[in-house]
């Protein structure tokens, strides 16, 4: 018998495989050994050493042993692994940082030109994690990536920024502004709007939501990156997101008491525009109180 194939037969006897896998694995082994034999004629490396390496790789690859495990044992193994993952998420890394589920975040250091909501300084705020509210120090909202960022200080006196997973943080509040993660929002034509965090300016029967955006561009004069900020205002009414551009478009979406609302705005000197969205809270609060 050919010495190479003889070694391959020994491999088959020493590592029994299920019938469905024997042929393909042995063919691969024979091919590999034959290729090695041809290479040996050129390199003069010991054939037994090559066979030993192939055997080690074969054992490490896990083709033989796992395939012989009964299905119920494998199912229990994966179930136990899944439970360990759930337990890890529940426990987190430390009791003090149980809200930390996310990945490392590389911060932008500029105090003026940055992708964050408000300033580039981590601030105190609150967030919702597993239906509980937590007071947290060191938060900022990355508008570009639509992620809440947490400045985490470790016990070994080091620190770093963590981009928190939105699946675990449905709501947070910084700078006296509440942000809530929405999915499945539709405009008045029935088209889906982008899911993500929306600032909740008013949260009554009607909801006034603002989607903040920042885009990165290059300044032609300085050749430096620049973040341009914009927002889109919506009135959530009857499960439809109605786009709001100014005070007139807001009043047109309301059913009645428009004259009283204008008087209220004038008497209280409320300025409603894209940079002054907080006025929508007082306007809609007045409107809903009048209609009750």
Whole-angstrom Cα distance, residue 5 to residue 165?
54
Pairing of strands 159-164, 207-218: unpaired
Question: Which token pair is 9?
Answer: 């037969």
Query: DSSP assignment of the chain, as one string?
Result: --HHHHHHHHHHHHS---HHHHHHHHHHHHHHHHHHHHHHHHH---HHHHHHHHHHHHHHHTSHHHHTS-HHHHHHHHHHHHHHHHHHHHH-S-GGGTT--EEEE-----SSS-SBSS-SS-EEEEEEETTEEEEEEEEEEETTTTEEEEEEE-TTS-EEEEEE-TTT-SEEEETTEEEEEE-S-BBTTSPBPPPEEEEEEEESSSEEEEEEEEEEEE-TTT--EEEEEEEEEEEEETTEEEEE-SHHHHHHHS-S-HHHHHHHHHHHT---STT-TTHHHHHHHHHHHHH-
pLDDT in tens, the chain (292 residues): 444 333 333 333 333 444 444 444 444 544 444 454 444 444 455 555 556 565 555 555 554 445 567 777 767 777 777 677 665 555 444 445 566 788 899 999 898 899 999 999 999 999 999 899 999 999 999 999 999 999 988 777 778 999 999 999 999 999 999 999 999 999 999 999 999 999 999 999 999 999 999 988 877 766 678 899 999 999 999 999 999 999 999 999 998 888 999 999 999 998 887 777 889 999 999 999 987 6
Question: Are 5 and 13 contacting, i.e. CB atoms less than 8 angstroms apart?
Answer: no
Q: Name every residue whose Cβ is closer than 8 Å to that of residue 292 and which is 6 or more positions away in sequence.
A: none
Domain boundaries defined on the chain? 3-67, 99-170, 178-291
Q: Read off φ and ψ for residue 147, nearest 5 degrees.
A: -135, 145
Question: Which token pair is 190?
Answer: 């029935």
Three-class SS string for 154-207? CCCCCEEEEEECCCCCCEEEECCEEEEEECCCEECCCCECCCEEEEEEEECCCE
């Amino acid at each position: 018998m050919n010495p190479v194939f003889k070694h391959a037969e020994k491999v088959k006897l020493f590592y029994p495989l299920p019938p469905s896998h024997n042929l393909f694995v042995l063919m691969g082994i024979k091919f590999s050994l034959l290729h090695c034999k041809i290479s040996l004629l050129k390199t003069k490396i010991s054939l037994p050493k090559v066979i030993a390496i192939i055997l080690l790789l074969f054992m490490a690859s896990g083709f033989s042993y796992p395939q012989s495990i009964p299905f119920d044992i494998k199912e229990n193994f994966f179930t136990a692994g899944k439970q360990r993952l759930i337990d890890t998420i529940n426990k987190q890394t430390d009791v003090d940082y149980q809200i930390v589920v996310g990945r490392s975040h590389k911060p932008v250091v500029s105090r003026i030109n940055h992708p964050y909501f408000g300033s580039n300084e981590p601030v105190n705020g609150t967030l919702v994690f597993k239906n509980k509210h937590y007071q947290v120090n060191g938060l900022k909202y990355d508008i570009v990536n639509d992620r809440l960022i947490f400045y985490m200080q470790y016990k070994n006196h080091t620190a770093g920024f963590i981009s928190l997973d939105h699946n675990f943080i449905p709501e947070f509040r910084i700078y006296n502004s509440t942000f809530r993660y929405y999915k499945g929002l539709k405009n008045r034509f029935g088209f889906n709007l982008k899911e993500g965090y929306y600032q909740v300016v008013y949260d009554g029967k009607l909801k006034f939501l603002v989607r903040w955006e920042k885009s990165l561009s290059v300044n032609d004069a300085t050749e430096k990156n620049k973040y341009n900020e914009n927002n889109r205002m919506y009135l959530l009414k009857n499960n439809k997101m109605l786009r709001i551009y100014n005070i007139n478009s807001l009043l047109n979406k309301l059913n009645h008491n428009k004259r009283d609302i204008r008087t209220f705005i004038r008497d209280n000197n409320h300025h409603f525009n894209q940079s002054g969205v907080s006025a929508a809270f007082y306007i809609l609060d007045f409107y809903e109180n009048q209609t009750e």
